[in-house]
Amino acid sequence: MAIATLLALILLFKRLEAGPVPSPASDRPCVNFMLPVPATAQNAEYDIIHVNDNINATAYAVDLDTWSFNATSRVLRNITVSDTFDISVQLCVPPNGIKKQNLFIATHGGLFDKRYWDPAINPSEYSFVDAALAGGYSILTYDRLGTGSSDKPDAYTIVQAPLQLEILRSITNMARSGELLKHTAGNADSAGTTVSATSANTFKGSDVSLDKIIHVGHSFGSVLTTAFLATYGNLSDAAVITGYILNEHFAEMRKATFGLEYAPQNNMTLFGDRSSGYMVDGTLGGFQTVFFSTQADATTGIGGFDTEVLDYAFSIRQTITTSEFLPPPVNLGAAPQFEGPLQFMLAEFDYPICRGDCNLHFDPATFQKLYPKAKDIDIYTQQGNGHALTMHRKANLGYKATLDWLDRNGF
């Protein structure tokens, strides 16, 4: 038996011994389905190390960390990618929600999938989906291309930031045109999900009109959301940027910190459907370093994290591609067409974004220049939390801050 296969079996047995990973309640007003999303983008082919094993994963990370690395100089050629991709979507619409016409479109970051927004462990505290529903909002979460149950095409030329941005644009247009809701009736069972009576009644003959779109992102998903505002700002009514903000310490963390491994070699059971170029956090320690607070036992009960939540988050970790880890070749500059309110939701102890301390001074003038027509720019710091905001104690306090802010802005 191959060593990789044996290790995968050992990891599987350990997971079984620990009991099944919990799942969200089945009676929520949600449907899960595969959404065919057409998208066309200008990607690139890069001269970078191909990752087919753990040795090359480490070499790849060190190459990117080398002071002389320049992504632009590594471009071999520009390429046009155009196709229709199957994207795994969860859409939740509260039957009696007074704000159900307001739709969150939530884009998760790297090394997670849509479950980032909807942790199944103690959802009343951790699930942003549940918080949105309780507030009366509709919410769409999706597995970005290359993650979860969505398509997993070539890691080097297809799964890149420009295409992820165009997929977000396409999903947004579907929501605005009403096409998104048309997919719910016939496709609600297509992802193998049992649709409850509550969900069926919610979507059957639904008269829901999704009038306002609120884009929310996390980490790499916030990079994409920021690029969306800069490129297609007129398509967004409001935005919440979490786990990302430009500051003096941004991008100081090295890629090697992630402890990246070739995904199938790390765990064939979880990642056997990934091909060359798909990587994952290799160890629990590396995962904790990137995503979790330095506080494990906050005496106030606010912030910090519980061990079982760290273990759960690691159990649902996902992959990222070699091309996605490069500096994203998308527009992260000014957003002159965006006229809605904008909130930055930060974690106090965010290691990747603020090198572990986001208690910084942010000059309002900087953001006013970037978003000259924004209705309101708010910067909120969730105390005691690390990069994975949804996985820390009292995450619901941050959700309340966002929902209260939206309410003050007429949403």
State yes or no: pLDDT of 6 exceeds 80: no
pLDDT score for 147: 98
pLDDT score for 210: 87
Could you tell me what percent of the chain has a pLDDT over 90? 76
pLDDT score for 204: 53
Write the single-letter amino acid at 10.
I
Give the total number of structural domains in the chain. Answer: 1
pTM of the model: 0.90
Q: What are the structure tokens assigned to 71, written together?
A: 């992504």
In tens, the pLDDT along 100-137 reads 999 999 999 999 999 999 999 999 999 999 999 999 99
Q: Residue 308 burial by CB count (10 A; 0-12/13-18/19+): exposed, middle or buried?
A: exposed
In tens, the pLDDT along 342-386 reads 999 999 999 999 999 999 988 888 999 999 999 999 999 999 999
State yes or no: pLDDT of 86 exceeds 70: yes
The rounded mean pLDDT for the chain is 88
pLDDT score for 186: 56
State yes or no: pLDDT of 14 exceeds 50: no
H or E element that contains 238: strand 238-242
Residue 331, domain CATH: 3.40.50.1820
Give the SS3 label for residue 149: coil
Spatial contact of 60 and 48, defined as CB atoms under 8 Å apart: yes
State yes or no: pLDDT of 13 exceeds 60: no
Can you tell me the distance from the alpha carbon of 324 to that of 158, in angstroms, rounded to the nearest whole number? 10
In tens, the pLDDT along 156-201 reads 999 999 999 999 999 999 999 989 988 876 554 443 343 444 454 5
Question: Please, which residues have CB within 8 angstroms of residue 122's CB and are 6 or more apart in sequence?
Answer: 309
State yes or no: pLDDT of 7 exceeds 90: no
pLDDT band at 202 (very low <50, low <70, confident <90, very high): low
Could you tell me what percent of the chain has a pLDDT over 70? 86
Spatial contact of 315 and 284, defined as CB atoms under 8 Å apart: no
DSSP string, 121-139: SSHHHH-HHHHHHHTTEEE
pLDDT band at 25 (very low <50, low <70, confident <90, very high): low
Phi (first) and psi of residue 240, to 5 degrees: -125, 115
pLDDT band at 258 (very low <50, low <70, confident <90, very high): very high
Spatial contact of 74 and 48, defined as CB atoms under 8 Å apart: yes
Q: Which domain holds residue 115?
A: 3-408
Can you tell me the distance from the alpha carbon of 151 to that of 123, in angstroms, rounded to the nearest whole number? 27
Spatial contact of 308 and 408, defined as CB atoms under 8 Å apart: no
pLDDT score for 201: 54
Q: What are the structure tokens assigned to 302, written together?
A: 């606010």
Spatial contact of 251 and 287, defined as CB atoms under 8 Å apart: no
pLDDT score for 251: 75
Can you tell me the distance from the alpha carbon of 77 to that of 79, in angstroms, rounded to the nearest whole number? 6
Q: What is the largest CA-CA distance in the chain?
A: 62
Spatial contact of 178 and 101, defined as CB atoms under 8 Å apart: no
251-276 average pLDDT score: 93
pLDDT band at 95 (very low <50, low <70, confident <90, very high): confident
